[in-house]
Structure 1
């Protein structure tokens, strides 16, 4: 944090505040909706899935608005809008109210990341500074999620309507506070359109290299669903490891991401190095998949050690690929259309969050060790292809040619 400017620290603080709210909500929301609103667990899950699919277009709209009105203003609106959704959650009484508020909440959630990236890119012209700030934001977000989840235990212990509503009010305050912090950032000038012939940089929509990289990012983003969905199911149903191993592996991933994100982000310096990191990230995720597969055939301590190795590799793949894609998605986007480009690129992760659980449970886990081996092949090939695509896309931008040569 000491390396950041005052504005960078303010943006990181905004991320910390709103992540505390998300952690609180994640820990207490299921109990609130099922025990006090009267919804079933299936209704809650279905609502989230439907909202996630319907809200994919929200990030695209946010990108257009960020280009038109400025990323700072739109990010403040996104934070404030989501805060008001949490306030509405405190007073929903039936399924339809829950569905409407969930759709709005998820739409704001999907709109946030690309607009945040656009704001960082506009405020910090140096790629190294951008990567460092985005890494700090990711670290404090993980810390905030953990602290918020622990604080949510108080609400769960009290388990009263009043306690849950007070919690929702605190979450609302956290997001409104984040919006105020963002609004206090200095306005950044919106770049004018570049000449049409300048390396194709004035395109309103991404070219084939950027779109291909977006699709490849969808596959590399599966580290998320592997951790949240595949890992617990695999450990509990397909290995001999103790049930408590799941909690230990979650905690290990959190610690590794917090510790490694900032140092790894410093490696993503320039086009060539960032592109090479996609290859490394794919290889790490492939190694993780093979360790998960082997854990299913191991017993006792060997199974636990293989699962730990799988999480170590998965966490490495996570921090490496995210650091690389942060830099590449910004560097390969023209400044005058950066919001739109980043919103389109963000569809890779957003789509993974919607369809990833279905793919993992239906194909990967349903095929056992063979499914994990297939995942390893997909990750390795995706990383290799993504490296070439990123380099080819950068070669069309004169300012990036030769940048970051080791």
Structure 2
């Protein structure tokens, strides 16, 4: 059980209790996310009666605006302690989410959605710094276990949302939104009682508020991770459209693929993720993920050339391969994101990491539908080759980052150049 009275990490606070609190809090908040994300578009269009185009425009504005909070929130976390900033962001998310039930106009929707995304980005930056501090002696194993429960929480929330969608009343949708708001509040209370109030770490004299932008290996890694992020919406967006438009597969296939994807990630995340603990292992995991995507994308393309009864089987096989790739990709990405970041600047670095991922996800629908779907089967082959190429860049970028950090850690020679070389 999570006990109260979490103090500073220097007072002997057990790492295990902090990890347990983070797991429980993250699970609760992701159940709420699953409830809301599954039904959000239906609520805004069918209940609030906003045109779908306006909802899309508002969400785009909110998504782009939310990117602005990443590095500033990370800097605040590094300066004043990550838990304080994280709890503030969770409280703001609870308020903005509850405000969605009061909306009646597009302007109000866009304003609240933008505030919500700003809070979510800040929460990601500060929460990432908290996870880095709570990781203990085996941070990779903890991050893998945390992601397992995050995925499980989304699955549980999605199942709950399906019930509300089937009921289809305003009351049912309102209950979903308020439950998501409550999930943020509950996650904050769990963190308040179970996660230490980590003190800011001493910062070197050369530290700057935008130091991460001068760290070229890390910026390069973030760019790779953002590009590889196309794979997430390959299963959630591109494949369902493809199956509906280009195959005779039963419509239940789409729901089955969501279940398979979530199930594989939940079952394998801890087992595989615990093997990725160093930057070198993270780079190799990235490369392996790209190779698996190179296999899965052509399999998805082939569903258009097989009989209706074969298409679901082939799609499930493709998603299984793709999901294993997703586990390796996320494990490698999170390992590199945390191990390459200086301990005193985890918030700032996690802020940039979150910005990169969110920007990639914002562009993904345009690229997947406007390029891959438009090209048909060649587009799938192009996507697989692109992801494999991005993955192949993982090991050299990881090695570059390790070399740069080794050089930075090398002590400066004492005396004149002639004396130093004597």
TM-score using structure 1 length: 0.91
Confirm or deny that 1:120 pairs with 2:120. Answer: no
Q: 2:229 aligns with which of 215, 221, 232?
A: 221
Indicate conservation of the 8 Å contact 1:284/1:316, yes or no. yes
* 2:201 is aligned with 1:186: no
Alpha-carbon distance, 1:115 to partner = 2.3
Higher Cα radius of gyration: 2
In the alignment, is the contact (CA less than 8 A) between 2:152 and 2:266 conserved in 1?
yes
Unmatched 5+ stretches in structure 1: 402-406
Instruction: Give the CA deviation at 1:323.
Output: 0.6
CA distance in 2, matches of 1:111, 1:320: 26
Number of aligned positions between the proteins: 395
Q: Provide the secondary structure at the position in 2 that maps to 1:224.
A: helix
> By how many angstroms is 1:20 displaced?
1.5
Change (3 A) 1:304 1:66: same
C-alpha distance in 1 between matches for 2:29 and 2:121:
14
Instruction: Tell me the CA shift for residue 234 of structure 1.
Output: 0.9
Q: What is aligned with 1:41?
A: 52
Q: Would you say 1:169 and 2:145 are equivalent positions?
A: no
Name the CA distance, whole Å, in 1 between partners of 2:211 and 2:69: 21
Query: Structure 1 pair 203/380, CA: closer, same or farther in 2 (3 Å)?
Result: same
Matched, 1:140 2:155: no
Return the offset for 1:124: 2.8
1:94 aligns with 2:102: no
Q: How does 1:365-380 map to 2 (within 5 A)?
A: 365-380=373-388
Per-residue deviation, residues 214-270 of structure 1 (Å, max 9, x unmatched): 111111111111111101011111223222211111110010011011101111022
Residue in structure 1 matched with residue 356 of structure 2 by the alignment: 348
* Corresponding residue number in structure 1 for 2:70: 59
Match of 1:103 among 103, 114, 126: 114
Match of 1:231 in 2: 239
SS in 1 for 2:96: helix
1:301-356 Cα deviation digits (max 9, x unpaired): 44333212210121011110111111111111111222111211222210121110
Q: In the TM superposition, what is the alpha-carbon distance from 1:16 to its structure 2 partner?
A: 1.1
2:40 is equivalent to residue 29 of structure 1: yes
C-alpha distance in 2, partners of 1:215/1:171?
31
**Equivalence for 1:83:** 94
Distance of aligned partners of 1:125 and 1:16 in 2 relative to their CA distance in 1, 3 Å threshold? closer
Match of 2:406 among 389, 398, 403: 398
Equivalent runs, 1:143-162 vs 2, <5 Å:
143-162=152-171
